[in-house]
Structure 1
Amino acid sequence: MFSLKNKKAVVTGGGSGIGKAIATVLAKQGAEVHVIELGIEQAATTLSEIEQAGGKAYSHACDVSDHAAVSAVFENIGPINILINNAGIAHIGKADTTPEADFDRVMKVNVKGVYNCLNAAIPQIRKANGGVIINMASIAALIGLPDRFAYSTAKGAVKAMTMSVAKDYIGENIRCNSISPARVHTPFVDGFLQKNYPDNIDEMFEKLSKTQPIGRMAKPEEVGALALYLCSDEASFITGCDYPIDGGFTTLNN
C-alpha cells in the first residue's frame, strides 16, 4: 500500500519542516522527489537524508513568487505525477497593524507562489496522464485566529484555489486537495520562541502546545503521512477536499 514507485514529485519549500517531512516520506515510498527551495543549500539536508536512505532526489533553486523562474524550473523537470505546494511565509498582525509592504509580500509568496506552481505544473501533470496536487492551507483558512490577518487571507485563497482546480481538472485525471494543519513543531516554531521569548522558551512552548485540545503540537511526519495517503492510489476517489490536521483545534476549542 501507498507505493509511489515510478512517480515523480515536486515539493516546494521542501528543505525543512513540513516540506522536508513530506519530501522524505514520498521518497521513502519510491517517488523521485524534486525539492524547490530559494537556494540549493537550503535543500541539502533533505537531499542527503533521502539519498542516504536509498532514495532519489534533486534540488532546484527558485523563488516561487517569480513566475518566469517557476515556469523554467518545471519545464526543466518535465512530466510529473505529484505537486506539493508547501512553500510559504508567516506573518503576525491585524488589519490595521499590517503594513502594505508586508501584506503584499505574504500575498506574493503564499498566493501568487501557489498560482505560479499550479500554472507551470498542470501542463506537466497532463503530460503524465494525470496526477495529484496538494496545497498546504491552514486552520487559519477555516476559523479566526488572532493577529493573523494577512496569513489567514492568503491561506483562505489557497483553500479556494484548491476547490477551483479540483473542479476544473477532474475530467483530466488530476486530483487536488488541501491540508490545513494547526501548530506543527518545526524549526520555525523554535526560531519564533528563541526570538520573542528567549527567557521563557519552555513555558511558552508548553502554552502553545496546549492550545491544541490534544495537548501537543503536530509532528511534521504526521502531516507527511497524511500527504502520502492523499498522493497514493489508495486515495484515488478523493478530490476537492480540505483536511484539517489539528489535534481537535477547529472542533473542540468551543
Structure 2
Amino acid sequence: MTAVFVRRLGGALTDLGYLLLAAVPSLRAGYRWWARDRYLHLAPRYATTIRDDPAYFAPLQALLRTLETEQPTIVAEVGAGTGGATALLARRYPGALLTAIDVSPLMLARLQAGGALRVRRVVGDAFALPLRSATADLVLVHNAPFDVPELLRVAAPCGTVAVVLSSGAILSWWMRRLRPRLAGRSAGWPCIRELRAQGGIAWIFRRTPVDGASEPGPATAAGRSRWRRWPSASAGY
C-alpha cells in the first residue's frame, strides 16, 4: 500500500465526511465535539501535510483558471486552516479584501497568506458564519466543512459560490446519492459548472436572476463598506 494511495483514501474519507455534514445537519453536533481535539493536534503539522500532496490544490487551481476573467473585490474563504488556499487566492486576487474563516484559532494563528496584507483572520463556525448577508463576491470552501444555505446567504446577489474537495471525484457512488440533498439546499443557486482534476472536484454555484440568466457582477462601493462592518467572531465550534 503506497503512501499516495493512503493519502488519497484518507482524503476521500475526509471529503465524504464534509459532504455528509452538508447534507445531514443532525450530524453536526457530534462533529463539533470531535473537531475540538482533532484540530488541536492537527494544527502544528497541517501545512506540511498538504504541501506534500501534489494533488491537494489541483481542483482549486482548475477553478481559478475557470474564473480567470472575474475580479472579485470581496472574498470569503470558509475553513481556511493554515492558509494553503488562502495564499493562492491572495495571489490570484491581489486587490481583493479576503477574510479567512476557521473554527480553530490554532490553525488561523499559523495561517500563511504569502505576505498578503489584505487578509483578515476570523474564528467562526462554518455552519453559522460570522459574516453579513449578501456581501462577498466570491465565497469559497476548500476541503472543509460547509453549509450550503450559509454559503449562499453570505454571497452577493451577483456573486459566486465555490466548493472544492480535493478527493471528491473518487466518491462517485456517494455523489449520486448526496447531490440531490445538496441541490435541495441550494434552491435558486444552481450548480452551473463541475470541474474535475486529479481525483478532486469543484462546483460553481450562481444565483438565477428573474430573467433566468446566471452571471457575475462587480462589487460596489456599498459592498466594500459592508466588508468593513463584518464582525470578528470569537465564538467557534
Give the alignment's TM-score, normalised by structure 1: 0.41
Question: Higher helix share goes to which structure?
Answer: 1
**Which structure exhibits the higher relative contact order, with contacts defined as CA atoms closer than 8 Å and separated by 6 or more residues?**
2
More strand by share: 2
